[in-house]
Structure 1
Amino acid sequence: MQPILIYYIIINIITYILFGVDKLKAKTHRWRIPEATLLFFCIIGGAFGGFAGMFSFHHKIRKNKFRYPVPLLTIIQLVLIYRCMH
């Protein structure tokens, strides 16, 4: 397996977990993960994990800061990964 694919898988798992943890913290009124951190992880390759986390945890789906950029980043990153693999 290529290192870029390993990175992509790991960063997406981390991003997915971050969205889940932030949702849990929101429900329990505890200190939250900053939106900038969530977006940063999406930008550095974790957009698919963020997108999956948004919908599986029903978290940040109404915020325009996440609603439009995260799906767009997901498409871009998946295309780039596909092109790197072929």
Structure 2
Amino acid sequence: MTNKKPAKTGNSASPQTNRAQKSRPQNNRAQKSNAATSGSSLMPLLLVVIFLAGLIGAAQQHMLPYGIAGMYLTLSLLTFIAYAIDKSAAKRGKWRTKESTLHLLALMGGWPGALFAQNVLRHKSVKASFRNVFWLTVVANLAVLGYGIKTGAVNMFI
């Protein structure tokens, strides 16, 4: 005699099927969460626009040399291009730009372009360790800018 298990009917599901069915609502919540997150990506872009507009406005009011605003705009453009090149290389499996290079560009004043690239190109926007260092470069850059404005040291650069 053989011990045969009774055949399963179409109504009973395997454990894998049950797990898949149970995970569907979680996936839907994750999709909604991602949609909400992508909607909130407007905030960093708004921050970039306000910062750059503030720099230009400060230069027009003679509170800041035009060269400082120009430096931020130029470095932001170069940093955005560096992110775009790195994103393209990542997609093609080619040689990548070092993260330290991207951080250095952000630290020097290209962080508005980096933030814009992270949100528009969706590049380097997930890796937590990269984002943490990126935000440290933003804070450091703004601290140096603030110090330079307060002491008048920004006038030495132009």
The one-letter code sitting in structure 1 at the alignment partner of 2:123 is H
- What displacement does 1:71 show? 4.5
Structure 2 residue matching 1:68: 3-state secondary structure:
helix
Match status 1:26 vs 2:84: no
User: What is the match of residue 3 of structure 1?
Assistant: 67
Question: Are 2:46 and 1:46 aligned?
Answer: no
Report % sequence identity: 29
Q: After the TM superposition, list the runs of 4 or more consecutive aligned residues in structure 1 that deviate by more than 4 angstroms.
A: none
Instruction: Give unpaired runs (5+ residues) of structure 2.
Output: 1-58, 60-65, 150-158
Q: Which residue of 2 aligns with 1:60?
A: 124
Describe the SS at the equivalent of 1:59: coil
CA distance in 2, matches of 1:69, 1:48: 15
Indicate the RMSD between aligned Cα atoms, in angstroms. Answer: 2.4
Q: Give the structure-2-normalised TM-score.
A: 0.45
Aligned residue identity for 2:125: I
Which of 67, 74, 79 is equivalent to 1:15?
79
How many pairs were matched up?
82
Structure 1: give runs of 5+ residues left out of the alignment: none
